[in-house]
């Protein structure tokens, strides 16, 4: 199997499929890239003539879409047509944690991956390279291969061959385009040299050869889970120390800096905060834990369980502080929530720390005014209406979505800075003191606000990881 790739199909037009294929289309003008999805709504949004309305907010993405959409990048719901014409098919579908049955709460739910494999098995023609882009448990390539092989002999008039590669994606939301254009590494796992070369040739259009690592399939699949586990472990490590800073008078920013300047440790991913969110860290560690348990490696799984425990504890700790500072009760008090996305520069709210924080505040009887510069009202409502801890009618009457920082802050008793949006570091607190109920506390979980100015303006400040 060695041929020039002319047609790529990507199954899944999500946070990974959309940006990844846009970048491939940008750098490979001679390849037609077709992104398909079962969601009619999502594909309609990707095809919106106004590129500021595409479904994913990601700096630099709409400009690329503008330049390649309709030329060599296409979004469609026609799976059959696009799979059958593809030489290479990326599987980029969601792999959330199972919510029922065996492995519930830990194992990855692979039903969308399996469905993709069946679609490929049914519609593909000739020689097809199937690339795992989704993050998957070790050995999923074997399952995909088995499904593909079982359909292979159905139509003997058009003999078909399949090669499965693992090519995990390491982009982070908010910096996806930069991460894709300047990756630290590109990882390709597989058994077939020719298929690996076909994929490598695509990346060589913009990535240097020394950054492309080739491994066996299982190392590639496991490296992705391990990378996410290590990154989240650093966040839990620094968050665990943030509590000790508050107790002792040390300052987490100073500690992070001092620790991170050791080149063996490095300075990235040492920002303490309200715990990691996002669709992947928690699910990928849970998946790692499940795999370890499956292989009887109890000590390894317990080690990684702690990373999640610390993350949950960090959010609980923040609520305890809010209650303590607001005289032990927040029933009927108004709290402004600044930021709802799980991090800055994205409109993604999946597993956002803001959800847990809002849930606990609602249980305590607070009224919330939520502002996020990029998350729309419907997404915030959807996140909060899913909560099971309070009746929907209570949730409905417990929050409103504000259209500006000023609206969110006015009349409130406390302000929680949850997301690290740059706008929040630029707030001129002098302008807001007259509109709040005094004494008004700011709880800065990201250590980003101008606390000197806020203090001088009359606010009371609690900064995560600092005792002052």
* 72 and 78 Cβ atoms separated by less than 8 Å: no
Nearest residue (CB) to ligand NAD, 35 versus 292 = 35
- For the question of residue 383 being annotated catalytic, the response is no
- What does 13 bind: ligand NAD, ligand UGA, none (CB cut-off 5 to 8 Å by kind)? ligand NAD
Q: Considering only residues 1, 38, 115, 172, which one is a binding residue for ligand UGA as defined by CB under 6 A?
A: 172
CA distance 223 to 214: 12
Whole-angstrom distance, CA of residue 233 vs CA of residue 285: 10
Q: Which one of the spans 63-71, 195-203, 264-272, 369-377 is the region binding ligand UGA (CB under 6 A)? A: 264-272
Which of ligand UGA, ligand NAD, none does residue 228 bind to, with CB < 5 to 8 Å depending on kind?
A: ligand UGA
Answer for which of 119, 134, 271, 402 binds ligand UGA (CB under 6 A) is 271
3-state DSSP assignment of residue 418: coil
* Of the residues 8, 35, 42, 148, which one makes contact with ligand NAD according to CB under 6 A: 42
Stretch of 168-176, 187-195, 393-401, 431-439 contacting ligand UGA, by CB under 6 A: 168-176
Q: How far apart are CA 149 and CA 462, in angstroms?
A: 59
Contact 395, 385 (CB under 8 A): yes
Paired tokens of 12: 């899944």
Separation CA 286–CA 292 (nearest Å) = 10
Place of tokens 């990154």: 231
- With CB under 6 A, what is the number of residues at the site for ligand NAD? 26
Residue 395 to residue 363: CA distance in whole angstroms: 9
Identify the helix (H) or strand (E) that includes residue 77. Answer: none
- Residue 285 makes contact with ligand UGA by CB under 6 A: no
Out of ligand UGA, ligand NAD, none, what residue 343 binds, judged by CB under 5 to 8 A for its kind, is ligand UGA
| Only segment of 21-29, 166-174, 249-257, 302-310 that touches ligand NAD (CB under 6 A) | 166-174
| Spatial separation of the C-alpha atoms in residues 226 and 215, rounded to whole Å | 15
Q: Check binding of 280 to ligand NAD (CB under 6 A).
A: yes
CB of 280 to ligand UGA, least distance (A): 3
Q: Which two tokens stand for residue 193?
A: 């040299």
Number of CB atoms found within 10 A of residue 407's CB: 15
CA 455 – CA 86 distance, rounded (Å): 60
Catalytic residue ranges: 280
Q: Which residues bind ligand NAD (CB under 6 A)?
A: 11-17, 36-39, 42, 92-95, 112, 115-116, 134-135, 169, 171, 173, 279-280
Q: Which residues bind ligand UGA (CB under 6 A)?
A: 135, 169-173, 228, 231, 235, 269-271, 273, 276-278, 280-281, 342-343
């Amino acid at each position: 199997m060695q041929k020039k790739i002319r047609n790529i199909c990507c199954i899944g037009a999500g946070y990974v499929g959309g940006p990844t294929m846009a970048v491939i289309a940008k750098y490979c003008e001679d390849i037609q890239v077709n992104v398909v999805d079962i969601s009619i709504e999502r594909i309609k949004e990707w095809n919106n003539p106004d590129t500021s309305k595409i479904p994913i907010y990601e700096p630099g993405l709409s400009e690329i879409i503008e330049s390649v959409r309709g030329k060599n990048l296409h979004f469609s719901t026609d799976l059959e047509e696009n799979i059958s014409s593809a030489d290479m098919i990326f599987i980029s579908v969601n792999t959330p944690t199972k919510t029922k049955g065996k492995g519930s709460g830990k194992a990855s739910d692979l039903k969308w991956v399996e469905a993709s494999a069946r679609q490929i098995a049914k519609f593909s023609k000739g020689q097809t390279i199937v690339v795992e882009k989704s993050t998957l448990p070790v050995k999923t390539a074997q399952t995909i291969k088995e499904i593909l092989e079982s359909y292979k002999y159905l139509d003997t008039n058009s003999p078909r061959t399949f090669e499965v590669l693992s090519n995990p994606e390491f982009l982070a939301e908010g910096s996806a385009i930069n991460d894709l254009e300047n990756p630290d590494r590109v990882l390709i796992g597989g058994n077939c040299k020719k298929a690996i070369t076909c994929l490598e040739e695509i990346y060589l259009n913009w990535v240097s050869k020394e950054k492309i690592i080739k491994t066996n399939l299982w190392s590639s699949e496991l490296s992705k889970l391990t990378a996410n586990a290590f990154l989240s472990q650093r966040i839990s490590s620094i968050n665990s120390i943030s509590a000790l800073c508050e107790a002792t008078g040390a300052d987490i920013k100073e500690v992070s800096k001092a620790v991170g300047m050791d080149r063996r440790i490095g300075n990235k991913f040492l920002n303490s905060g309200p715990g990691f969110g996002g669709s992947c860290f928690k699910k990928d560690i849970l998946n790692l834990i499940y795999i370890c348990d499956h292989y009887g490696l109890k000590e390894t799984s317990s080690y990684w369980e702690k990373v999640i425990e610390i993350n949950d504890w960090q959010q609980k700790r923040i609520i305890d502080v809010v209650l303590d500072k607001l005289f032990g009760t927040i029933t009927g008090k108004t709290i402004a929530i600044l930021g709802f996305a799980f991090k800055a520069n994205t409109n993604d709210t999946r597993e956002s720390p803001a959800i847990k924080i809002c849930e606990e505040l609602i249980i305590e009887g607070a009224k919330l005014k939520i502002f996020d510069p990029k998350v729309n009202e419907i997404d915030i409502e959807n996140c909060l209406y899913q909560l099971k801890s309070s009746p929907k009618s209570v949730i409905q009457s417990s929050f409103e979505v504000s259209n500006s920082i000023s609206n969110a802050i006015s009349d409130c008793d406390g302000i929680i800075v949850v997301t690290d949006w740059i706008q929040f570091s630029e707030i001129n607190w002098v302008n807001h003191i007259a509109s709040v109920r005094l004494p008004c506390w700011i709880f800065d979980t990201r250590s980003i606000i101008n606390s000197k100015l806020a203090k001088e303006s009359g606010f009371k400040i609690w900064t995560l990881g600092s005792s002052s």
